[in-house]
Structure 1
Amino acid sequence: MKTNPGQLSQLLKKSLAPVYLISGDEPLLVQECCDQVRKAAKEAGFHDRLTFHADHQLDWNAVADEFSAMSLFAEKRRIEIHLPTGKLGDGRAVLERVLQEPPEDIILLLISTRLDAAETRRKWYKELQGKGVHVPVWPVDADKFQGWLQQRASSRGLSLTRGALAIMSERLEGNLLAASQELDRLALLANGNTIDEETVEQAVQDSSRFSGFELVTELISGRAPHACKMISVLQQEGENPLGLLAVLSRDLNLLLELKSAGGQAENPASFLKKRGVFQPQRARAMEQAARRLNRAQLHEAVALCSQIDRATKGFDPLSPWHYLRDMSALLATRA
C-alpha cells in the first residue's frame, strides 16, 4: 500500500509490515519517517540492524544470503538498503524473491531518493505494494512552508508571533533541516515564552537559505572557482551540507526532467515555474545548465549527491566538502 508521512505513525501503531519503502528528495522528512519505522521495529523486538548501500560495489548475492540465513539465537533483524539513485538495478531479482515470501524474523527498510518512475512498473514494486508500505516524501512547497513551520513549532510547544514566523519563513525557506535545527534552538531559549521578532533576529542565523542557495546556483551555473571559494567558507563556518544537498539534488533532478521535456512545446521558463523555480536568476542558470550538460553528466552528478550524503553521515572516509568540490568541477564541464 501507499501512504503519506502524516499517516505513517498510525499505521505503525496498528501493525508492522515486513517491508517499508521511504522515498523522496527531502532528507529531513525521509530521515524522520525512517526513524519512526526503526523505533516501532525495535519496540517489536527487531533489535539487530544490517545496512547495505546499493552502489556499484554492492554484492546482491550477499544481500540474498542474509535473507535466507538463520539469525543467531533467533534474533529478529532489521535490514536497511539505501538506494541512492532510486533504482534497484541488479537487486530486482533478489527483492522479488524476498517479497514473495518475506521472512517473519526480518523487517526490510528501503531508503531511496525519489523513486525512478520505471521502478514503479517493475514486479518487485508491485509485490511491495501488496506486502508492504511505500511512503513517498515530497518537498514542502514554497506557499506551504510557513504553515509547515508553524505546525513544527507547535509540536515543540513553541508559540511564535506572526512577525517572528514571517522572518523565519523568509530566512529558512527551502531548507527544512536548518528550520528544524533553529526551532530546536529557540525551544531552549523560549522557556515557555512567546517567540517574537527580536528573539528571532538575535537567535536565527541568516546563513541557511541564502548561502546554501547561492552555492547551488553557482554549482549549477558551472562557475567552479567561485563555487570552491564558497565551499571553503561554508566548511569553515561549520555549515551542515545536508541542507544545500537537498536543494542541489532537487535541482539536478529538475534538470533531468527539463532535458526529457526538451522536445515538448512548453518552453523551459514555463516548465521551471510550474515546478517552483520562480527566481529569474535561478531559472536562467537552470536553462543554461540544461543546454550545457548532457544526461550522462547529470546522472553522474545525482550519483555524486549520494556520495556526499554518505560522507555527511560518516559512511565515507572523505569529507562531503571534498565531493562538493568534485561536483563543482563536474558541473563546470561542457557536454
Structure 2
Amino acid sequence: MKTQPAQLPQLLKKGLSPVYLISGDEPLLVQECCDQVRKSARDAGFHDRLTFHADHQLDWNAVAEEFSALSLFAERRRIEIHLPTGKLGDGRAVLERVLQDPPEDIILLLISARLDAAETRRKWYKELQNKGVHVPVWPVDADKFQGWLQQRASSRGLSLTRGALALLGERLEGNLLAASQELDRLSLLTNGNTIDEETVEQAVQDSSRFNGFELVTELLAGRASHASKVIGVLQQEGENPLGLLAVLTRDLNLILELKAAAGQGDNTSGFLKKRGVFQPQRARVLEQAARRLNRTQLYDAITLCSTIDRSAKGFDTLSPWHHLRDLSTLLATRS
C-alpha cells in the first residue's frame, strides 16, 4: 500500500509490515520517516541491523543470502538497503523472490531517492505494494513553507512573531534540514521567550536552497517575484541553466498539448497520467498554466528558451539569467 508521511505513525501503531519503502529527495523528511520505522521495529524486538548500499559494487547475491540465512539464535533483524539513484538494477530479481514470501524474522527498509518512474511498473514494486508500505516523500511547496515552519516551531514549544516567521521563511526557504537545525538553535538561545525579527536577524544566516526543478515550477506558476529570487540564487551558485532548460522546454510543449486535449474535451488529469505526470503538485501546475497562458505566450516562451540555450553556449551578448528573468515576466502575464 501507499501512504503519506503524516499517516505513517498511526499505521505503525497498528502493526509492522515486512517491508517499507521510503522514497524522496527531501533528506530531512526521509530520515524522519525512516527513524519512525526503525523505532517501531526496535520496540517489536528487531534489534540487529544490517545495511547495504546499492552502488555498482553491491553483490546482490550477498543480500539474497542474508534473507535466506537461518539465525541460530532466532534473532530478529532489520535489513536496510539504500537506493541512491531510485533504481534497483540487478537487485530486482532478489527483491521479487524476497517479497513473494517475506521472512518473519526480518523487517526490510528500502531508502530511496525519488523512485524512478520505470521502477513503479516493475514486478518487485507491485509485490511491495501487496506485502508492504511505500511512503513517497515530496518537498514542501513554497506557499506552504511558512506553515510547515510554524508547525515545526510549535512542536518545539517555540513562539514566533509574524515578522519572525516571515523572515525565517525568506532565509530558509527550500532547505528543510537547515530550517530544522535553526529552530533547534533558536530553542536553545531564546530559553522560552517569544522570538521576534531582531532575534532571527541576529541568529539566522540566509540558508535558502533552490534547484532547477523548483525554478521551473515557479516560472510555470507565474510567480515572477519568487522566480527572480531563485534565479539570483542559482546564478550566484554557478548553476548550469542548460539542465533546467531541458525540463522547462519539455513542460512548455506538454502544456501546449494539454491545451489542445482540453479543447477537444479530453480529461486533463487522464491525459497527464498517460504522459507520465503522476505527481499531484506538478500536474496542478501544468493544468493551471494551460488555463492561464495562451498559445502565443507559450510559443514565445519556447522561442525564448532557444535564446537562453544560445546564450548559455556563448552565442549571445546577454547572460542566460537575463533572458530567464524576461521569461519569468512573460509567463507571469495573464492572457
Same fold per superposition (TM over 0.5)? yes
After TM superposition, the structure 1 = structure 2 runs for residues 283-322 of structure 1, keeping only pairs within 5 Å, are none
**Structure 1 residues 28 and 257: CA distance shift in structure 2, 3 A:** same
Q: Secondary structure at the match of 1:32?
A: helix
- Would you identify which runs of 4 or more consecutive aligned residues in structure 1 move more than 4 Å? 210-217, 254-267, 284-293
Q: Does structure 1 conserve the Cα–Cα contact (< 8 Å) formed by 2:2 and 2:135?
A: yes
Aligned position for 2:125: 125
Structure 1 stretch displaced more, 32-41 or 185-194? 185-194
Aligned position for 1:27: 27
d(CA) in 2 for partners of 1:111 and 1:79?
Answer: 11
After TM superposition, the structure 1 = structure 2 runs for residues 172-191 of structure 1, keeping only pairs within 5 Å, are 172-191=172-191
Structure 1 stretch displaced more, 164-173 or 210-219? 210-219
Deviation at 1:190, TM superposition (A): 2.2
Amino acid at match of 1:87: K
Amino acid at match of 1:209: S
Q: Does structure 2 conserve the Cα–Cα contact (< 8 Å) formed by 1:83 and 1:113?
A: yes
CA offsets 1:244-274 (integer angstroms, 9 cap, x no match) = xxxxxxx96x66755765864649xxx9x94
Aligned position for 1:205: 205
d(CA) in 2 for partners of 1:287 and 1:140?
Answer: 32
**Structure 1 residues 265 and 13: CA distance shift in structure 2, 3 A:** closer
d(CA) in 2 for partners of 1:291 and 1:77?
Answer: 55
CA offsets 1:161-205 (integer angstroms, 9 cap, x no match) = 101101100000000000000000011122222111111112112
Deviation at 1:141, TM superposition (A): 0.5
Aligned position for 1:87: 87
Aligned position for 1:62: 62
Deviation at 1:211, TM superposition (A): 9.9
Aligned position for 2:38: 38
Structure 2 residues not aligned, in runs of 5+? 212-229, 258-281, 287-303, 314-335
Q: Does structure 2 conserve the Cα–Cα contact (< 8 Å) formed by 1:220 and 1:286?
A: no
d(CA) in 2 for partners of 1:221 and 1:84?
Answer: 22
Deviation at 1:71, TM superposition (A): 2.5
After TM superposition, the structure 1 = structure 2 runs for residues 1-335 of structure 1, keeping only pairs within 5 Å, are 1-206=1-206, 208-209=207-208, 217=235, 218-221=237-240, 257-258=247-248, 264=254, 266=256, 274=285
**Structure 1 residues 121 and 175: CA distance shift in structure 2, 3 A:** same
Q: Secondary structure at the match of 1:55?
A: coil
**Structure 1 residues 211 and 136: CA distance shift in structure 2, 3 A:** closer
Q: Secondary structure at the match of 1:9?
A: helix
Q: Does structure 1 conserve the Cα–Cα contact (< 8 Å) formed by 2:24 and 2:137?
A: yes
Q: Percent identity?
A: 76
Q: Does structure 1 conserve the Cα–Cα contact (< 8 Å) formed by 2:249 and 2:305?
A: no
d(CA) in 2 for partners of 1:80 and 1:291?
Answer: 45
**Structure 1 residues 3 and 215: CA distance shift in structure 2, 3 A:** same
Structure 1 residues not aligned, in runs of 5+? 223-250, 276-283, 294-335
Q: Secondary structure at the match of 1:111?
A: strand
Amino acid at match of 1:88: L
Q: Does structure 2 conserve the Cα–Cα contact (< 8 Å) formed by 1:2 and 1:134?
A: yes
Q: Does structure 1 conserve the Cα–Cα contact (< 8 Å) formed by 2:174 and 2:210?
A: no
Deviation at 1:36, TM superposition (A): 0.6
The total of aligned residue pairs comes to 253
The alignment's TM-score, normalised by the length of structure 1, stands at 0.68
Larger radius of gyration between Structure 1 and Structure 2: 2
Amino acid at match of 1:220: E
Q: Secondary structure at the match of 1:153?
A: helix
d(CA) in 2 for partners of 1:94 and 1:114?
Answer: 21
d(CA) in 2 for partners of 1:65 and 1:127?
Answer: 20
**Structure 1 residues 72 and 187: CA distance shift in structure 2, 3 A:** farther
**Structure 1 residues 65 and 262: CA distance shift in structure 2, 3 A:** farther
**Structure 1 residues 21 and 286: CA distance shift in structure 2, 3 A:** farther
Q: Secondary structure at the match of 1:126?
A: helix
Deviation at 1:220, TM superposition (A): 2.7
d(CA) in 2 for partners of 1:196 and 1:67?
Answer: 54
Q: Secondary structure at the match of 1:160?
A: coil
Q: Does structure 2 conserve the Cα–Cα contact (< 8 Å) formed by 1:85 and 1:112?
A: yes
